[in-house]
Amino acid sequence: MDIRVLKTKADIAKACGEIFIEEINKKSDIVLGLATGATPLPTYEYLIDAYKNGRVSFKEVTSFNLDEYCDLARENENSYYSYMLNNFFNHVDMDKSRINIPDGNAKDAEKECAAYDKMIEDMGGIDIQLLGIGTNGHIGFNEPSDEFTDATFKVKLSDSTIESNSIYFPDGDMPRYALTMGIGSIMKAKKIILIATGAAKIDAVDKMVNGEVSPACPASILQNHDDVIIFLDEDAAAKINK
């Protein structure tokens, strides 16, 4: 693991954004795996600025998002579909036909998940996968469990995830299920960049980096990937830096 501890969220956004810009400028039809949550927002802002300054174009880029809530209208401001449009896609020159996000409202979730994996495979796999990490060590929505998941699947969200994410659903309508790429899908990405910021991630980061590789901390599997960069701010790195 290539662990890089930087001072501020802005420093991380710049360092991470520059990797994306360099890779996209090398391969204009790159396939990106994208993440939601609060953590990647500064990186998306950095990329939007770079696009506006003519440093990068997303015209030929294909994207696959990690996950989406089930039983939540796409138009709901808390769907990951809305998040991606509002925080990134609407501000750059992405071709909307190349944007892929699992359909959490699909009637047949199993079929939707299998079709999603097939689309990723048909595109030649993900070149760079961006990840955040949950306070319980989840990546995507792969919750701590007894075994590592494989391909895209429908997951029941854990109590800790519901607790962390319910701030976005003040009316109490927090979805209980989601579709998520599995650990196997994530590990197939050629390059992985994970960002963790803030003190709430201290324990998850410590287990991911120093703990045994175990489905009890899904992110620990990244120790087995041979091209992974972990960007941390000083708060999130507090335990591993000791």
The residue ranges that bind ligand GLP (CB under 6 A) are 35-39, 66-67, 132-134, 140-141, 161, 165
Residue 87 DSSP SS3: helix
CB 68, min distance to ligand GLP, A: 9
CB 210, min distance to ligand GLP, A: 20
CB 153, min distance to ligand GLP, A: 14
Q: Comparing C-alpha atoms, which of 90, 87, 93 is closest to residue 56?
A: 93
150 labelled catalytic = no
For the beta sheet containing 99-100, the strands, ordered from the edge strand earlier in sequence to the opposite edge, are 2-6, 228-233, 191-196, 128-131, 31-34, 62-65, 99-100
Options 67, 68, 117, 233, the catalytic residue: 67
Q: The tokens of 132 are what?
A: 């955040």
147 labelled catalytic = no
CB 200, min distance to ligand GLP, A: 7
Q: Judging by DSSP bridges, how do beta strands 67-69 and 177-180 pair with one another?
A: antiparallel
| Amino acid (one-letter) located at 121 | E
Q: The tokens of 223 are what?
A: 């120790």
- Look at the block and give the residue holding tokens 């854990």: 158
What is d(CA 16, CA 127) in angstroms, rounded to the nearest whole number? Answer: 15
Give whichever of 56 and 128 is closer to ligand GLP, judged by the CB atom.
128
Options 112, 117, 143, 206, the catalytic residue: 143
- Closest CB to ligand GLP belongs to which residue? 132
Options 68, 138, 165, 206, the catalytic residue: 138
DSSP 139-206: BTTB-S-SS---SSEEEEPPHHHHHHHGGG-TTS---SEEEE--HHHHHTSSEEEEEE-SGGGHHHHH
Give whichever of 126 and 133 is closer to ligand GLP, judged by the CB atom.
133
Give whichever of 133 and 237 is closer to ligand GLP, judged by the CB atom.
133
Options 65, 136, 142, 165, the catalytic residue: 136
136 labelled catalytic = yes
Give whichever of 36 and 185 is closer to ligand GLP, judged by the CB atom.
36
- Angstrom distances, CA of residue 8 to CA of 1, 57, 77: 20, 26, 28
CB 142, min distance to ligand GLP, A: 9
Give whichever of 63 and 161 is closer to ligand GLP, judged by the CB atom.
161
53 labelled catalytic = no
Q: Give catalytic residues, as residue numbers.
A: 67, 136, 138, 143
